[in-house]
Amino acid sequence: MTWDEIEVPKELRPFMLEQAEETLLGHKNGANKQYRYGNLHIREYDNKYLVHMDKVDPRKNPLGHLAFDAPEILIGLASGAFGGVKVASYLYKNSKKTKNDKHVSVVAGVISSLAIGYVGYRLAKKIKNE
Query: Does a structural domain hold residue 82?
Result: yes
Beta bridge partners of 21: 36
Q: Do 77 and 38 contact (CB within 8 A), yes or no?
A: no
Q: Do 44 and 33 contact (CB within 8 A), yes or no?
A: yes
| DSSP state letters, 36-60 | EETTEEEEE-SSEEEEEE-SS-TTT
Q: Which helix (H) or strand (E) element contains residue 33?
A: strand 33-37
Distance from C-alpha of 7 to C-alpha of 118, rounded to nearest angstrom: 29
**Mean pLDDT score of the chain, rounded to an integer?**
90
Highest mean pLDDT among 7-11, 33-37, 60-64, 111-115: 111-115
Distance from C-alpha of 77 to C-alpha of 54, rounded to nearest angstrom: 21
Q: Do 117 and 88 contact (CB within 8 A), yes or no?
A: no
* Residue 89, pLDDT score: 95
Q: Provide the domain count of the chain.
A: 2
For the chain, give the longest Cα–Cα distance.
68
Give the percent of the chain with pLDDT over 70.
95
Q: Are residues 38 and 79 in the same domain?
A: no
User: What domain range is 99 assigned to?
Assistant: 70-129
**Residue 19 above 70 pLDDT?**
yes
CA angle 35, 117, 41 (to 5 degrees): 10
Q: Are residues 45 and 85 in the same domain?
A: no
**Residue 125 above 60 pLDDT?**
yes
Query: Does a structural domain hold residue 78?
Result: yes
Query: Does a structural domain hold residue 92?
Result: yes
